[in-house]
Structure 1
Amino acid sequence: MARLARLTLPGRVHLVTHRGNNRQPVFVDDEDRQKLLDLLGEQAVRHRVTVHAYVLLPGAIYLLLTPETDQGVPALMQAIGRTYVRHFNARHGRSGTLWEGRYRSTLIQPERHLFACMSMMDSAPVREGLCAEPFAYAWSSHRHHIGQAHDRRLTPHPLYWSLGNTPFAREAAYAELVHRGLDLPQLGAITDAVWHGWALGDSQFVDSLQRDTARRLAPARPGRPPKQRSVG
């Protein structure tokens, strides 16, 4: 079955992931990680994409983005992917592919899933055994959102400001939100949506997106379509 084209719409929040080929590491050390973040900042400005959150894992990256144009996310990911591979191969004396084919992405309904996606990203290093707490991991946007660091690449989503009337209140509320974590069904829904490219939101959200694209936004129902009765 042919793969669906990636869905990208301006002004919508995209959850994006790109994995290493055959699950191989895409970073050797902190210099590699810093190179990718530098590229993210440069290319986001060039292609008019707002970066809300990120996490760099040994074998994958996750990004939460809002583009101004329908080509913003594809152009950003292509520029980062190609430039980073050249850097990585030259620096580590290797050749060939690094990434696992195409990046994966989904559109999310912020009111229902923004903080769940951010929590999933922030807690990923803990799930992978890289640290004991999200704030102990230097290569995600978590510390920015809890006030322990400032990352100029990031622009918090407007919903983040609704967490409190002061910076301290927002940071404390967000830290507690991530601390509460997600259950397995929530994690599964996010993973399934981003991997298959299905829109992540309620039926009204999906319907609103469907008005802007002919691309299918949800899995097809199992079984054959019903037969149409003949007329006359």
Structure 2
Amino acid sequence: MARLSRIVVPNQPVHIMHRGNNRQDIFESEEDMSRMTEDIAHVLSKSDCHLHAYVIMRNHLHLLITPAEKEQLSRFMQAVANRYVRFFNATRNRTGPIWEGRFKSCLVDSENYLFTLYRYIEMNPVKANMVKNIADYPWSSY
């Protein structure tokens, strides 16, 4: 059965979630988290996407992003994911995939949903009991 096409509307925000394979930790250190933020920034500088919010957790990440063109979202995510996989595998002397299939995406269709997502994304570390105050978590857009 063929995969369903993603619903991407130019200039419309999209919530992205990308999880580690088998829910394994793929951000194991501060260096890993830092590398992911660098990869996101690098790819953003070369793409026609705008990042609104993000959080990097141990085994997944959330992005709230707006692509200017339909094709930009997949190109952006492919570049970010591939850059990080190469880094992750090279620093651990391993090969193979680390991501659990395709990234999940959900079109943001209202202003209310947009603000709900901002809160959900940035509060993830608090809800996961990683920090008591979101200001104490350095790997988010907060």
Range into which the TM-score falls when normalised by the shorter chain? over 0.9
Q: What SS does the aligned partner of 2:95 have? A: coil
Q: Helix, strand or coil: the match of 1:58?
A: coil
Aligned counterparts of 1:110 and 1:72: Cα–Cα separation in 2: 21
- Cα deviation for residue 109 of structure 1 reads 2.3
1:9, 1:45 → 2: CA distance?
21
Partners of 2:29 and 2:88 in 1: CA distance: 11
- 2:37 and 2:138 map into 1 onto residues whose CA distance is 12
More relative contact order, 1 or 2 (CA 8 Å, 6+ apart): 2
**Which residue of structure 2 lines up, in the alignment, with residue 132 of structure 1?**
132
Instruction: Please give the secondary structure, in 1, of the residue aligned with 2:55.
Output: strand
Alignment match, 1:151? none
Would the aligned equivalents of 1:13 and 1:110 in 2 still touch at CA under 8 Å? no
Q: Which residue of 2 aligns with 1:6?
A: 6
Residue type matched to 1:77 in 2?
A: M
Give, in angstroms, the shift of residue 41 of structure 1: 1.0
Q: Per the alignment, in what secondary structure is the counterpart of residue 70 of structure 2? A: coil
* 1:98 has 2:98 as partner: yes
| CA distance in structure 1 between the partners assigned to 2:72 and 2:78 by the alignment | 10
Residue 217 (structure 1) aligns with: none
What amino acid maps onto 1:52 in structure 2? H
Cα displacement (A) at 1:30: 1.0
Residue 117 of structure 1 corresponds to which residue in structure 2?
A: 117
2:108 maps to what in 1? 108
What's the secondary structure of 2:101's corresponding residue? coil
Q: Mind listing any 5+ residue stretches in structure 2 that lack a counterpart?
A: none
Identity %: 35
> What secondary structure, in the 3-state scheme, does the structure 1 residue paired with 2:64 have?
strand
Structure 1 ranges of 4+ moved more than 3 A: none
What per-residue deviation string (whole Å, max 9, x for no partner) do you get for residues 121-177 of structure 1?
Answer: 1111011111111111110011xxxxxxxxxxxxxxxxxxxxxxxxxxxxxxxxxxx
1:2 Cα offset (Å): 4.9
Secondary structure of the residue that 2:9 maps to in structure 1? coil
The separation in 2 between residues aligned to 1:71 and 1:109, in whole angstroms, is: 19
Structure 1: tracts of 5 or more residues without a match: 143-232
Kindly name which structure, 1 or 2, has the bigger radius of gyration based on alpha carbons: 1
Q: Work out whether 1:46 is the aligned partner of 2:52.
A: no
Give TM-score scaled by structure 1 length: 0.59
Alpha-carbon offset, residue 16 of structure 1? 0.5
Letter in 2 for 1:30: E
Give 1 or 2: higher strand fraction: 2
Q: Does structure 2 conserve the Cα–Cα contact (< 8 Å) formed by 1:53 and 1:63?
A: yes
Once residues 45 and 9 of structure 1 are traced to their aligned partners in structure 2, the CA distance between those partners, rounded to angstroms, is 21
Aligned partner of 1:212 in structure 2 is none
User: Contact conserved, 1:6 with 1:104, CA < 8 A, in 2?
Assistant: no
Q: Letter of the 2:46 partner, please give it.
A: R
> 2:120 corresponds to which letter in structure 1?
M
Report the counterpart of residue 82 of structure 2 in structure 1: 82
Q: Deviations over 1:10-62 (max 9, x none)?
A: 10001001000000011111111111111111111212100000000000000
